[in-house]
Amino acid sequence: MSRASLGGAAARTWATPAVAITVALSLAGVAALLEPGGWYRTPATILGATALVVVIARLATRRAFVPTAIGGLVGAWLVLLAYVPAPDGGRSWWPSPGALRSARDMAVDAVGYVYDTVAPAPVTVPLEALLATAALALFLAADALAVGAGLAATSGILLLAPWIPPLALGADVPVGALVGCLALWLATVALTRRSTGTRWRSRAADAPATGGVVLGAASLAVLLAVAIAPLAPGVPGWGDLPRATLPSAWGGGQRLDLEIDLRDSLTARSDEPFLVYTSASGRVPVLRAFSRADFDGNGWRVETPTETEQPSGPLWPLPYAGWVGDQTRSFTVRVGDVRNAFVPIPDAPRSVSAAAGWTYAPSSDELRVGEGDLVAFAQYSVKYATGFHTEEALRAAEAAIAAGGDAEVEARYVAVPDALDQDGVRALAEEVTAGAADRYEMARQLQDYLSGDTFAYRTDVDYDGDDMVSAFLEDRAGYCIHFATTMVMMARTLDIPARFAVGFLGGTDTGGSEFVVTGGDAHAWPEIYFPGHGWVRFEPTPPIQTGAPPEYAAPEAGPEAVPDVRDTIRPTAAPSTATTSPSATATAVTDPVAEDEQPWAFAIAVGALVLTALALAVAAARLAARRRVLDPERAWQSALRAVDGGATARAQTPAEARETPTLAQDEWTDDEREAWRRLAAAVEDHRYAPGGSTATPEELGMWVAAIRRAGRRTPRRGSR
Amino acid sequence: MEPTVPSESDLATVADLARSIRTELARVLSGLDRAVDAVLATVLAEGHVLLEDVPGVGKTTLARALGRACDVSVGRIQFTPDLLPSDVTGVSVLRGTDRAFEFRPGPVFANIVIADEINRASPKTQAALLESMQEHAVTVDGQTRPLPRPFLVVATQNPVDMEGTYPLPEAQRDRFMTRITVGYPSGDDEMEMLRTHDRVDPLDSVAVVADAGALAHAIEVVRSVYTSEPARRYVVDLVRATRESPELRLGASPRASLQLLALAKARAAMSGRDHVLPDDVKALAPAALAHRVILTAQARSAARTAEAVVTDLTASVPVPTAGRPVPAPR
């Protein structure tokens, strides 16, 4: 009995669980892009159940791909059962039209959510269902390739797919899981290895299905890659990628990601116009995008506003009496091809000509476009109050503070993370604010301390550890996010409600009252709460980068000056005139190409496609090569084709072909003639001898290779 | 199920035997290797041979040399128009001593029966021989007497000079496993013949190399030669092709399939091989099939011969491969 048939079947039974565990570990890789939680339990359970079904099916049938089909059906049903609600709200026990509609809506939801959020994203039910489906598809494809088609090594390319986005983006992937994946993949290769010393049995029965299954597996992999890729733009470190070099002619648009790991250096950002506004009354100090409340020591947690309202009338978190005479200004905005959902607005009470579906969240003071929509190409006009924030108004809030006015805001605005060296930071904050009479003065002193000579503005920082703030206070170098975060934390240790706001500086004047705001104008600042007044911006980042602080925060400085150099996002801080010209903006704004695509999602999808095509090509080539080489019959046909293009008569026996000079063998070497003779003898034995051929696949491969060499070298004689 | 195949020593014995007989026959008739091989294969397949050719090419000499090389009983019948069936099978005579009938076996009671000019005898006599060939037994006076084993008939006939002959009908020809045309020797071979046959009867120089037991054993070994499914399929394909050929009015019978496969086994064993190759089938197909088919009138008028048609079929019927059909040439 052959060695292969002893170990083979039993060992291959274990290959399917190995593939399933590999895929389950890959979920840990994807988890690097998501918020921690117990979301993986249901997908892992579905994966395990499906793997069990596939194993049982493999034991029951010798067909290569029937178990995959059965596993696919069972897995799809489990996903339906676990995630898709029936129209009446209960569970979907069978794929009714209503359930399928729900499933479609969930898929749309999940994809929209992936586009809309930045990592680490909280896992919603649709996203979890999407992940479960993707994991299932990946498992079935990899298992079909590794166990069904016997191409375990090639299946590694598929199993690598979920690791590509986190690895490419430098997310903190669990190294143990990655190593485990690689080890299990090697185990799969070992478990499915065929003994090459045994006589090859024809795989003719499997062959017709193989091509289709490989194609199907590849398609699944592409779908998977496309499903996962959109997660990528929100990943920390995304800004490291050379987005600015992507030509806008690609029509990809840009997405500004303001979530930066504070330990990382600030690197070049886009010079593409983000928006253009026309303001007859000059520059707008800042355009606010959104704010964050929860800090973990190194980064601000992404949150989605829950309570929203229609954006009508003056937008301000606190009741606003109304416009005061001529203390308002107006401007109109044209947004470029931008993939964000927030609408930039000034940081004072304002009213916006909102489009349908836009929502305003008072708690975080954010204006967003409708669910699943993008701000790209939006046009709106804004009226905002000037002179709303004044020293007098802020000092007047002291009475409300004394009356416990801070209770109006949530406790999280004074929370500090456990990772923070609270005592140290508080001691410093108290030292800095010693002698301050009221909250306004405290905020001023914190701002002046940070923006003074003590701290250096540097974009190349490399902080380790969990406590960025202490590291920053130690090293005294950083960029706007470090300054802003540190001021928020220092204020919070003094029990002053504070939060972190993100938006843009006023942009570059291009003449004609038109201002261009690029991705490079992105900026972050702290906001301090004054009861009865609202959240007020301070500017702790050195003025050399951001220009002077607001007038109310630096009365002696006069009106807010235009910064010489921007806080940028580009260390060189030299605005590029080429990309900020109005004409470029106009082009970008009127370019309707590919509105719904993420440039990098697209690039990753293309990459995955190329990778899959590669896997497909390798798999096809290996399958073909195995068929050609391992079976004496196929080896013989291949040799005949190589020598005379298949012109040798089908009525010729191998012995006749071996002996007859129909083939131009005069110029063959002795080795080549010997290979020809031995291959003919092998196929003769294979076909007619009681014991079959004893030639090993390696020998057959060698002989075919020799004959091919000879066939290429010598001209073909005409047929017979 | 593991196929039973002859042992290597058995195969070597058969191959040796075939080689020795061939050597002995070559002493008498040089240059007739193809015919000799076909005759040997027929002998080892325990079939009957019909040697058909013009007079003087050595048909009878070949048959006699075969009989002499094997140490077995040889019967010889010279067929004439007045030959009676009892001259072939034997006759019961009244014994003088006890007045009982005693059976005197005819020349057919031998291991090798040489039937010279079989087409000269009357159909009745021919039928007597052919029946014993088929049944391996002779029935005289209601009593069936088995013929010795191995039993093979080597008949000769002359295709020209047909006057006063009774050509074998197709049904009778089917009883012969092979029809072999001896053919003229080459010039060199004929020169050699003139030299060696100058003084002595070459038949005297033929040595005995096999006895009945060795022959029977060889026949047993040949029966156990392995035939693969593709090889059997090739036999069937070839025989079916004769039935479908536009040049043939009558194709070969299923008996032809059986006998062609038996012949192929014999040839395989003669080469010391334990399995049949399509090459064995191809080599013996003209001898095994040509005398069983009938050409159409068109083919005959186009001067085609049955041998040529069968040979062409062997060159055009695809050789079956293991597992799947051979892809058509691109």
pLDDT in tens, A258-269: 554 555 555 445
- Residues of A in Cβ contact (< 8 Å) with B315: 649, 651
CB within 8 Å: B226 and A689: yes
8 A C-beta contact, residue B47 and residue B86? no
Nearest CA in chain B to A681: B277
Closest CA to B25 of B188, B206, B250: B206
Contacts of A290 (CB under 8 A, 6+ apart): A342, A364, A366, A501, A502, A503
**CA dihedral of residues A677, A679, A684, A689 (deg, nearest 10):** 110
Question: Distance (Å) from the C-alpha of residue B274 to the closest C-alpha of chain A?
Answer: 8
Calpha distance A315→A355 (Å, rounded): 15
Nearest beta carbon to residue B329 from set A631, A646, A653? A646
For B206-248, the three-class secondary structure string (H helix, E strand, C coil) is CCCCEEHHHHHHHHHHHHCCECCHHHHHHHHHHHHHHHHCCCE
Asked if residue A612 has pLDDT above 70, the reply is yes
Nearest beta carbon to residue A637 from set B314, B320, B326? B326
In single-letter form, the type of residue at position A319 comes to P
β-bridge pairing A379-385 and B74-78: unpaired
Question: Distance (Å) from the C-alpha of residue B258 to the closest C-alpha of chain A?
Answer: 18
β-bridge pairing A514-518 and A273-278: antiparallel
- The DSSP line for A15-31 is HHHHHHHHHHHHHHHHH
Instruction: Give the pLDDT score at A594.
Output: 34
Asked if residue A610 has pLDDT above 60, the reply is yes
Calpha distance A224→A207 (Å, rounded): 26
E strands, chain B, in order: 49-52, 70-71, 74-78, 90-94, 101-105, 112-116, 137-140, 143-146, 152-157, 178-180, 210-211, 248-250, 294-295
CB within 8 Å: B282 and A653: yes
Question: Distance (Å) from the C-alpha of residue A597 to the closest C-alpha of chain B?
Answer: 46
Coil, strand or helix at A613: helix
- Residues of B in Cβ contact (< 8 Å) with A686: 322
Asked if residue B271 has pLDDT above 60, the reply is yes
Coil, strand or helix at A341: coil
* Structure-token match 């019978």, residue found: B253
C-beta atoms surrounding B101 within 10 Å = 13
Task: State the average pLDDT over residues A415-419.
Answer: 86
**CA dihedral of residues A616, A622, A623, A627 (deg, nearest 10):** 160
Q: At what angle do helices B306-316 and B229-244 cross, to 10 degrees?
A: 130
8 A C-beta contact, residue A323 and residue A370? no
Assigned token pair, B305: 């011969």
Nearest beta carbon to residue A656 from set B231, B279, B326? B279
A684 to chain B, any CB pair closer than 8 A? The answer is yes
A592 to chain B, any CB pair closer than 8 A? The answer is no
pTM, to two decimals: 0.46
Residue A486 backbone class (left: φ over 0; alpha: ψ -120 to 50; beta: rest): alpha
Instruction: Give the pLDDT score at A575.
Output: 34
β-bridge pairing B152-157 and B49-52: parallel
CB within 8 Å: A652 and B330: no
Contacts of B45 (CB under 8 A, 6+ apart): B177, B219, B222, B259, B262, B263, B265, B266
Question: In chain B, which residues touch A (CB < 8 A)?
Answer: 2-3, 5, 226, 228, 230-231, 274-279, 282, 314-324, 326-330
Closest CA to B14 of B330, B298, B207, B266: B266
Calpha distance A532→A424 (Å, rounded): 31
A633 to chain B, any CB pair closer than 8 A? The answer is yes
How distant, in Å, are the alpha carbons of A38, A130, A712 from that of A136? Answer: 18, 10, 46
E strands, A303-429, in order: 328-335, 350-352, 359-361, 366-368, 379-385
Q: Could you tell me which residue, B170 or B112, shows the higher pLDDT? A: B112
Nearest beta carbon to residue A655 from set B2, B279, B323? B279
8 A C-beta contact, residue A26 and residue A47? no
8 A C-beta contact, residue B225 and residue B275? yes
A202 to chain B, any CB pair closer than 8 A? The answer is yes
- The DSSP line for B49-76 is EEEE-STTSSHHHHHHHHHHHEES-EEE
What backbone torsions phi and psi does residue B210 show, to the nearest 5 degrees? -150, 145
Instruction: Give the pLDDT score at B329.
Output: 37
Question: Distance (Å) from the C-alpha of residue B231 to the closest C-alpha of chain A?
Answer: 6
Closest CA to B129 of B90, B159, B164: B90
DSSP assignment letter at A91: B
Instruction: Give the pLDDT score at B112.
Output: 87
Contacts of B320 (CB under 8 A, 6+ apart): A687, B230, B231, B233, B234, B237, B278
8 A C-beta contact, residue B102 and residue B89? no
Asked if residue B85 has pLDDT above 50, the reply is yes
Coil, strand or helix at A704: helix
A637 to chain B, any CB pair closer than 8 A? The answer is yes
Helices (H) and strands (E) in chain A, counts: 22, 14
Nearest beta carbon to residue A650 from set B231, B319, B324? B319
Calpha distance A457→A481 (Å, rounded): 11
B1-84+111-224 and B226-318: identical CATH topology: no
- Residues of B in Cβ contact (< 8 Å) with A656: 279
Query: Count of A–B CB contacts within 8 Å?
Result: 69
Asked if residue B327 has pLDDT above 50, the reply is no
Least confident of A180-189, A659-668, B229-238: A659-668
Task: State the average pLDDT over residues A342-367.
Answer: 86
Band (pLDDT 50/70/90 cuts) for residue A49 is very high
**Residues shown for chain B:** 330
Task: State the average pLDDT over residues A86-103.
Answer: 80
CATH T-level topology, domain B1-84+111-224: Rossmann fold (3.40.50)
For chain B, give every domain's residue range: 1-84+111-224, 226-318
Largest CA distance in chain A: 112
Calpha distance A485→A471 (Å, rounded): 12
CATH T-level topology, domain B226-318: Helicase, Ruva Protein; domain 3 (1.10.8)
Calpha distance A54→A47 (Å, rounded): 10
- Residues of B in Cβ contact (< 8 Å) with A647: 329
CB within 8 Å: A688 and B277: yes
Calpha distance A491→A494 (Å, rounded): 5
Q: Could you tell me which residue, A301 or A525, shows the higher pLDDT? A: A525
Band (pLDDT 50/70/90 cuts) for residue A527 is very high
* Helix, strand, coil fractions of chain B, as percent rounded to 5: 50, 15, 35
Closest CA to A163 of A236, A229, A257: A229
- Residues of A in Cβ contact (< 8 Å) with B279: 653, 655-656
CB within 8 Å: B275 and A689: yes
For A256-302, the three-class secondary structure string (H helix, E strand, C coil) is CCCCCCCCCCCCCCCCCEEEEEECCCCCCCEEEEEEECCECCCCECC
Calpha distance A146→A377 (Å, rounded): 47
In percent, the amount of chain A with pLDDT more than 70 equals 74
A687 to chain B, any CB pair closer than 8 A? The answer is yes
- Residues of B in Cβ contact (< 8 Å) with A637: 326-327
Band (pLDDT 50/70/90 cuts) for residue A498 is very high
What backbone torsions phi and psi does residue A360 show, to the nearest 5 degrees? -120, 130
Asked if residue A543 has pLDDT above 70, the reply is yes
Whether a cis peptide bond, with omega within 30° of 0, leads into A305 is: no
String of b and e for B274-300 (b: at least 16 CB within 10 Å)?
Answer: bbbbbbbbbbbbbbbbbbbbebbeebe
Calpha distance A160→A165 (Å, rounded): 10
DSSP assignment letter at A560: P
Residue B10 backbone class (left: φ over 0; alpha: ψ -120 to 50; beta: rest): alpha
Asked if residue A204 has pLDDT above 80, the reply is no
Which residues on adjacent β-strands are paired with residue B211?
A: B71
Does the ipTM surpass 0.90? no
Maximum average pLDDT range among A305-319, A493-507, A655-669: A493-507
Give how far the C-alpha of residue B274 lies from the chain's centroid of Cα atoms, to the nearest Å: 22
Nearest CA in chain B to A688: B228
Instruction: Give the pLDDT score at A48.
Output: 92
Instruction: Give the pLDDT score at B175.
Output: 85
Instruction: Give the pLDDT score at A226.
Output: 54
Question: What is the overall mean pLDDT for chain A?
Answer: 74
In single-letter form, the type of residue at position A264 comes to D
Assigned token pair, A590: 């009127």
Contacts of A137 (CB under 8 A, 6+ apart): A220, A223, A224
In percent, the amount of chain A with pLDDT more than 90 equals 4
A694 to chain B, any CB pair closer than 8 A? The answer is no
Task: State the average pLDDT over residues B222-245.
Answer: 89
Calpha distance B2→B51 (Å, rounded): 39
CB within 8 Å: B324 and A649: no
Asked if residue A485 has pLDDT above 50, the reply is yes
Maximum average pLDDT range among A29-43, A424-438, A593-607: A424-438
8 A C-beta contact, residue B189 and residue B30? yes
- Residues of A in Cβ contact (< 8 Å) with B314: 651
